[in-house]
Amino acid sequence: MNVMVVKRSGKLEPFQREKIVRSCKRAGATPKVAEKIADEVAQTARDKIPTSEIRDAILSRLRKKNPAWEAAWLEYERTMKKKK
């Protein structure tokens, strides 16, 4: 079964583990840690899970591994929102 994610806009899209890996690495996580976080989140994902819930799960895991990675993620989000 393909797990679908509910975007903020309400649109559905397939769960993409690779997006989590890429985002974690962008926040500073090592490839190994990024893969582990993505695996953990993928295991708990259910159909029609909101992206906000996925985001919270990722941020919680980043914070536990290295608070600077969580801060980097949040800073990236802030800069992206300014560009929109």
Position 60 pLDDT exceeds 80: yes
Position 56 pLDDT exceeds 70: yes
The total of structural domains in the chain comes to 1
Q: What pLDDT score was predicted for residue 81?
A: 77
CA distance 58 to 76: 14
Position 65 pLDDT exceeds 70: yes
- The residue range of the domain holding 78 is 4-83
User: For 4-43, how does the pLDDT look when each residue is reduced to its tens digit (9 = 90+)?
Assistant: 999 999 999 999 999 999 999 999 999 999 999 999 999 9
Section 36-53 average pLDDT = 97
Dihedral of alpha carbons 29, 65, 19, 42, sign: positive
